[in-house]
Amino acid sequence: MQNEHQTDRILRERLENAAVPPPAFVWPGVERELRKKRRKVIFWWFTFAGVALMGTGWWMYTQPTPNAADTVVQSSVDTSSGSATARNQIGLNDQPLSSTDNPVALSPDAAKAGHDALPVAGRAFSAKGKIQFSKNVPELDQASVPDHTPVSLETVVTDNIKPLTVAPVPEKNTVNHRANTPMLPVHIAAPEATTKVERLKRVELAEKIIKKRQNCYDFDENPNAWLLDVYSGPLMAAKQLDNRSGDLELEAYRQKRLETESMGWGYQAGVGITRVWNRRYSIGTGLQYQQFTEVMRFKDDLFVQYFTENNGQDTIDAVFGLKTITKYNRFGMLHIPVKLGYEWRSGRKGVQLKGGAALNVLFWKKGAILNPDTFNPAPFNSGTSSGVEVFNARTGLSLEGSAQFFWHFRRDMRIFAEPYYQAILKPISTETYPLQQRYHLIGLRLGVSRIF
């Protein structure tokens, strides 16, 4: 025992500070791996940002609008020093306006149908934030505004309007009309609009409609547009192994491969350019990169290793039992897709159905596979004597179908989530490989589109 401790101490002393120059190829390998990791980090940040963007957009979209009673309407009016005339002009007098002052009239039907909000069209927003009030606005209801018409209700104000302009005053004089004045300064008069709260509701509804249309690209006005997409997201690769010969030994090999290899998981990212024409039809192309990893876990329960000396003449020991080898098989593909689409829109949201084909321009792979002759793991496409020639240089053509759900967060930008299915038409394995290996890919693209 004493001797053992002494031996350990000597060994530790001798080996603790031992240094052996490493092979020259190690540092380039470290650099390469670090670069890969950095790229992965960038990719995941991008994915996270995409998801966060969509989440924020959805949250904003689903936020309840404050009700009329809580609406704070601010205008640049100095109420403390405003003249009686000005107060009259903007309706700050606490008197209900008569219908004779305001010949804007709603038809009873429209009022009943809840379309009474749009008399607020009598108030128009100028670019500099001035508020203009007018009289003699013709009858107007929501239905009369073309679908997707951008905000400007000025366009619906007719020539006989006599606008009154209230110039902005410095910020410090800005007042909260709800807090300081009992009445919203909007010149609205409809037979039904007898209370201030109703007026506020109408203003709010009108502003909501205006805001919604502000965030919606007008495909009626511009039926042809370009879309630039950037996206990324998760990907699942389902492998299909076929034994066309029916050979029993080959079938055993197929089963063994299926047992040892997992389903592939990975990611995809890409850019695309799409031309929309006639409001709803589209054709697009781009570049799409997909990468996935399959885990191969091989267990050799008949493993035996002999240890010999004297040039292999004397066996001094042997180990036998279970040997487990894990390999990560990686596949990367770059495609150029061409897709046709058709889209439906409702306000800011919509769906686009797409279908098309993709041509593979790059297919790289790295890993190990069971050798069909020995049933032991061997690197594939390695060019070494133990390697197995399994895969083609390219995967060829594939077909793809997808449904893109989008939402406009700005007039010219939209975010989307696009589940898709892609089938690679031909086997990716070579003709000399005894099994046929095919892939079906299912993924989710999360991205953003810019409309030009």
Partner 1 sequence: MNEETLIKACLRGSAQHQQILYERYAGKMYAVCLRYARSSADAADMLQEGFVKVFTKLDQYHFQGSFEGWIRKIMVNTALRTYQRQRFDMEQSGYEILPDKAIEPDAISRMSEEELLKLIAQLPDGYRVIFNLVAIEGYSHAEVAQTLGIQESTSRSQLTKARKWLADQLDTALKPVKN
Nearest distance in Å: CB 301, partner 1 = 9
User: Taking the alpha carbons of 88, 90, 93, 95 in that order, is the dihedral positive or negative?
Assistant: positive
SS3 of residue 260 by DSSP:
helix
Of 31 and 221, nearer to partner 1 (C-beta) is 31
Nearest distance in Å: CB 391, partner 1 = 24
Q: Which positions touch partner 1 (CB under 8 A)? A: 3-4, 6-8, 10-12, 14-23, 25-27, 29-31, 33-34, 37, 303, 305, 307, 309, 315-326
Nearest distance in Å: CB 3, partner 1 = 5
Q: What is the distance between the alpha carbons of residues 381 and 392, in angstroms, rounded to a whole number?
A: 9
Nearest distance in Å: CB 373, partner 1 = 22
Cβ-contact 342, 351 below 8 angstroms: no
Of 15 and 127, nearer to partner 1 (C-beta) is 15
Nearest distance in Å: CB 379, partner 1 = 14
Long-range interactions of 206-214: CB distance < 8 A, separation 24+: 206/117, 206/118, 206/120, 206/121, 206/153, 207/120, 208/65, 209/117, 209/118, 209/142, 209/145, 210/125, 210/151, 210/153, 211/151, 212/347, 212/348, 213/148, 213/149, 213/150, 213/151, 214/150, 214/151, 214/411
The string of DSSP letters for 157-208 reads: --TT---EEE----GGG-EEHHHH-SS-------TT--SHHHHHHHHHHHHH
Nearest distance in Å: CB 68, partner 1 = 53
Q: What is the distance between the alpha carbons of residues 41 and 156, in angstroms, rounded to a whole number?
A: 52
Of 5 and 172, nearer to partner 1 (C-beta) is 5
Of 306 and 421, nearer to partner 1 (C-beta) is 306
Question: What tokens were used for 241?
Answer: 């192994």
Nearest distance in Å: CB 313, partner 1 = 13
Of 85 and 310, nearer to partner 1 (C-beta) is 310
Question: What tokens were used for 139?
Answer: 């009858």
Of 12 and 450, nearer to partner 1 (C-beta) is 12
H or E element: which one contains 213? helix 196-214
Of 11 and 113, nearer to partner 1 (C-beta) is 11
